A and B are shown apart, each in its own frame.
Chain A
């Protein structure tokens, strides 16, 4: 019954025998144990499960794990490097781009995918790029602001230079 597959997630290879009907999102959450990728609907509507597969943002609830055999996947857990937040994570923190945090990983991955193909997006382009990701808390305004701010930080290469360590309490810029 099972199919043996190998998927690389955030640079680490995961091999497992899976049922053909296992969704990729369940593989990521339960086989790889990376629970930052969330599930919010049954109809590919909400985008909470968005990950980057072979460089493109996809909804991992709409793909079987077996279809991802041999693929490279990036999830929210792979954004920060060596304890240093990715510019988009810093920007979301600084601009209050999250509230309950449930849509956040999907928003971050959709945002990263946009900025990798378009480093200087307009507000309209940002809004379109995240239109497959639903948020119930923020009204999107600060999410859009966060992604535009991340673009600015990445263009300036300032993401590393002005990096704030994981901690809190300093006033927002």
Chain B
């Protein structure tokens, strides 16, 4: 039964295949959390604190219980009786589910009202009477560390607002390098407090069945298996009796990694009322109470030679974690992978210190479109390199060229211990500079400056670190950060692949189908990708920190190869030859030297169920848990060109080129889309976003008229390109890309603005670079409109 030979080689990887998931989204048939309606479902609304720091004197539920339709009112005291008033965080702290005794940030969860309709739940929440006794508020993380600062977390043994100190690198070697340095630069740089703000807010439906002691939790989650395990630990439910379903997710960007108090209360609410309980937060609740990102107050120093050779890097950071240390990072990495801050350069020594602090703000510190704290690190080093270039009066591209890690030094071990897998940095730099016409731009800038016009060029050459595991370094609550895939090939040669990750727009249903199709010689149309249901998917740690392709993408490829090994045995049986006489060519097995004798995966799959070789287990399926041997290190060179209006201070991004190297590209259309989105977020962070509080801890940006998101009008036109340096250890050579543009772009924007103003003595401007900030700089410098 030899197959007809097809002329074109089977090649699915690298093709811009239209997305398989799109038809349902285009026709309004996506199924997001709030689209789900269960019989007899109740609704929950949360009563939140108007104060940033206050004792709770009393809570009167009665007026709420009198509202028609209200079924129950739950307070922290009620949860205390169940042992659920506090829940553990991923970072070894604990967080109040509903406030007990006091509140620690404005909009903190104080009580929950469950009712037969959404309107009744909100009416009930408005009727709950809470009496507060305000306490002194700590907003500034530096003031939080002062000896007379009020102690915020009275539940802790340690009577201080200092949470922990984390150090990385070699202090002695770094201090020595600084003592001997010819040139030292130092700058204070803040990465503002920003919010992922996915367009779909967070929410859940908790459906507890008393008879079966079984909980189904539909939830907007980037990591459904992790939720299941956390719920088992927190709610003391047996894990096999919990099913977490993450339906279509309307964007996550890190915001949908943490387990929020609302989910836990909804579970309790379902247990108390015997009904499914839906809770969907409002946008204000999303911005004001769910995880923020960044808020790093960093001091950076570089030691270098007069010729511009960098020697050592010293960093001290005060990290504002808000009221609870609830940031989502792997257990052993309290400051995430922030010590990647030596970046793309050949530093000989580095010393990095991070001090984490409690303040009266919402908890967080999530990896927001960024591997854990890598955006902070990348912004820091790329800003600092420009400051050094300015100090040395060197061209920033030349300074980078001089210090980039040479291609022949990979794998490169950084002074903080990371082993970069692969890179051809100089090639990528030259490619980007040529593509944008760097020399001509510098010439244009000089001419414009002579005429008094303001134009700037900003470069960022970032190195990302993604794809956690390996499990020897990374775990969450002890669970190793591998990821998984399970493939079943059906008798007719169609396949289903299930994975432990959960996409939120990244196109997994297409890219994973391409990977499996490539490996098994199938059409991507014949591969169904399923994620997000813990009852059916193999255990995985979820989608964030650009880890899906590096981990589950690898797992899918390895799993398919496992299937192919069994398929080889069946093929040998069908072709009546030895296994070693076969070769895998263009998506089928053929006899070496006799290409007309071949079988396709469809034929093999059919035989696996109808005519398996004697002694071989029937069926054709496999599971693979992939523990990566190392992280992957995508990198890129981004260049921004800006013009500044002298009258208004408005910065116009004239051009922005992103040259990314994310290794092997599986679907270039999807990769480009990921880059566009990340750049837009980087643009927003650079120019418009900061969560600010007044001195009483009132959050001043709690909706989209205050927390700015760029529209199609402000957003620049993006230019994208690639170099390809495959990862040597990933089965496909892929590295991951979703977060590179957010990691790499803020520094390019800021460097461009500072470059435009550098001749006025400007060295650094903290983000967000608003018109007002630039206008003030221009007026202070005596620039005429």
Residue numbers of A with Cβ under 8 A of B are: 19, 21, 29-30, 34-43, 45-46, 48, 75-77, 79-80, 85, 89, 92-94, 96, 98-105, 108, 126-128, 130-144, 166-172
What is the bound-complex CA distance between A93 and B42, given in angstroms?
Answer: 37
B198 within 8 A of A: yes
**Known contacts A77-B27, A99-B505, A101-B248, A134 near B709 by CB under 8 Å:** yes
Main secondary structure of the interface of A (DSSP, over half): loop
A100 touches B199 (CB 8 A): yes
- When distances are taken between beta carbons in the complex, the residues of chain A under 8 Å from B20 are 168-169
Report whether A131 and B712 are in contact in the complex, using a CB–CB cutoff of 8 Å: yes
Given contact pairs A45-B704, A76-B28, A100 touches B505 in the complex (Cβ within 8 A): yes
Smallest beta-carbon distance B740→chain A, Å: 14
Residues of A contacting B670 with CB < 8 Å? 96
B22, B525, B704, B709 — which one has the most chain A CB atoms within 10 A of its CB? B22
* A41–B713 CB distance below 8 A: no
Segment among B10-18, B44-52, B451-459 that sits at the interface with chain A: B10-18
A-facing mask of B22-42, CB < 8 A → 1, else 0? 111111111110110100000
Contact with A along B663-678 (1 / 0, CB 8 A): 0000001101110111
The contact sample of 17 A-B pairs, CB cut-off 8 A, is A36-B30, A41-B283, A41-B703, A41-B704, A42-B284, A46-B283, A89-B27, A96-B669, A127-B711, A128-B712, A131-B713, A134-B709, A136-B197, A139-B677, A140-B712, A169-B17, A169-B523
Question: Interface readout for B601-616 with A: 1 if CB under 8 Å, 0 if not?
Answer: 0000000000000000
Instruction: Given A85-B23, A85-B27, A171-B18, output 15 extra A-B contacts at Cβ < 8 Å.
Output: A19-B119, A29-B35, A40-B199, A42-B282, A77-B27, A92-B22, A127-B713, A139-B677, A141-B715, A141-B717, A143-B712, A168-B20, A168-B22, A170-B18, A172-B16
- CB-defined contacts of A43 to chain B, threshold 8 Å: 283, 703-705
CB distance from A75 to the nearest CB of B (A): 7
Docked CA distance A37–B27 (Å): 10
Most buried by B among A35, A37, A99: A99
Tell me if A172 and B673 are in contact (CB < 8 A).
no
User: Number of contacts between A and B (CB, 8 Å)?
Assistant: 200
Interface: B128 (CB within 8 A) = no
A34 touches B28 (CB 8 A): yes
Within 8 A of A (CB), among B506-538: 506-507, 510, 523-525
Q: Which of B249-257, B571-579, B724-732, B764-772 is found at the contact surface with chain A?
A: B249-257
A19 surroundings in chain B (CB, below 8 A): 119
What distance in Å separates the Cβ of B425 from its nearest Cβ neighbour in chain A? Answer: 26
Determine whether the beta carbon of B283 is less than 8 Å from that of A108.
Answer: no
- How far apart are B107's CB and chain A's nearest CB, in angstroms? 14
Instruction: Return chain A residues, CB-CB under 8 Å to B249.
Output: 100
CB distance from A159 to the nearest CB of B (A): 14
Q: When the two chains form the complex, which single residue of A21, A29, A75 contacts B119, counting CB atoms closer than 8 Å?
A: A21
Known: A136-B253, A137-B505, A141-B718. A168 touches B525 (CB 8 A): yes
State how many angstroms separate the Cβ of A143 from the closest Cβ of chain B.
7
Contacting pair B19 A96 (CB below 8 A):
yes
Please determine whether A136 and B712 come into contact, CB atoms closer than 8 angstroms.
Answer: no
Asked if B200 CB lies within 8 Å of chain A CBs, one says yes
Interface string of B197-210 (1 = CB under 8 A from A): 11111000000000
Complex Cα distance, B680 from A127, in Å, reads 15
B16, B200, B677, B681: which contacts A102 (Cβ < 8 A)?
B200
Known contacts A104-B26, A166-B23, A168-B19: does B200 contact A38 (CB below 8 Å)? yes
Q: Is the CB of B200 within 8 A of A40?
A: yes
Taking a contact as CB atoms under 8 Å apart, the answer to whether B251 and A100 are in contact is: yes
Q: Is the CB of B119 within 8 A of A100?
A: no
Q: Are A99 and B26 in contact (CB under 8 A)?
A: no
- Taking a contact as CB atoms closer than 8 A, the residue among A34, A35, A89 that contacts B26 in the complex is A89
Is residue B387 within 8 Å, beta carbon to beta carbon, of the partner chain? no
CA–CA, A29 and B37, complex, Å: 11
By the criterion CB–CB under 8 Å, are A99 and B677 in contact?
yes
Contacts of A29 in B (CB 8 A): 34-35
Tell me whether A100 and B200 are in contact in the complex, defined as CB-CB below 8 angstroms, given that A89-B26, A171-B16 are known contacts: yes
Complex interface: chain A residues within 8 A of B704 (CB): 41, 43, 45-46, 134
Q: How many angstroms from the CA of A101 to the CA of B25 in the assembled complex? A: 5
Alpha-carbon gap, A79 to B17, bound state (A): 24
- The residue in chain B whose Cβ has the minimal distance to the Cβ of A34 is B28
Known: A38-B32, A89-B26, A167-B525. A136 touches B676 (CB 8 A): no
Chain B proximity of A124: nearest CB distance (Å): 9
Minimum distance in angstroms from A154 CB to a CB of chain B: 16
What is the distance, in angstroms, from B22's C-beta to the closest C-beta of chain A? 5
Cα A100 to Cα B25 in complex, Å, equals: 8
Tell whether, in the assembled complex, residue A169 and residue B200 are in contact, meaning their CB atoms are under 8 Å apart. no
When the two chains form their complex, are residues B715 and A140 in contact, meaning their CB atoms are under 8 A apart?
yes
Residues in A neighbouring B34, C-beta threshold 8 A:
29, 35, 38-39
Closest B residue to A123 using CB positions:
B717
- Contact between chains at A105 and B712 (CB < 8 Å): no
Instruction: Give Cα A4 to B493, complex, Å.
Output: 55
Residues on B with beta carbons closer than 8 Å to the beta carbon of A136: 197-199, 251, 253, 677, 681, 709
Across chains A and B, which 6 residue pairs bring their CB atoms closest together, nearest first? A36-B28, A101-B25, A102-B250, A100-B505, A139-B680, A99-B505
Complex interface: chain A residues within 8 A of B717 (CB): 141
**Those of B119-171 within 8 Å (CB) of chain A:** 119
Contact between chains at B27 and A102 (CB < 8 Å): no
Known: A40-B283, A139-B679. A131 touches B669 (CB 8 A): no
CA distance A35 to B779 in the complex (A): 52
B673 touches A138 (CB 8 A): yes
Q: Which residues of A contact B378 (CB under 8 A)?
A: none
Q: Within the assembled complex, what's the spacing in Å between the Cα atoms of A130 and B253? A: 22
Report if B344 contacts A (CB, 8 A). no
Contact of B504 with A by CB under 8 A: yes
The answer to whether B18 touches A93 (Cβ under 8 A) is yes
Given A43-B705, A138-B676: A98 in contact with B711 (beta carbons within 8 A): no
Residue of B17, B199, B713 near A48 (CB, 8 A) is B199
CB distance from A94 to the nearest CB of B (A): 7
Chain B minimum-CB-distance residue to A77: B28
Chain A residue with the shortest CB-CB distance to B504 = A100
Q: Which A residue sits closest to B673, measured CB to CB?
A: A96
* Known contacts A137-B251, A171-B17; A42/B703 CB under 8 A: yes
For B680, the chain A residues whose CB sits under 8 A away are 138-140
Closest beta carbon of chain A to B535's beta carbon, Å: 24
Distance between Cα atoms of A40 and B681 in the complex (Å):
17
- A172 with B712: CB separation less than 8 A: no
- CA separation between A19 and B68, bound complex, in Å? 14
- Among residues of A, the one whose C-beta sits closest to the C-beta of B16 is A172
- Which residues of chain B are near A77, meaning CB under 8 Å? 27-28
Interface string of B238-252 (1 = CB under 8 A from A): 000000000011110
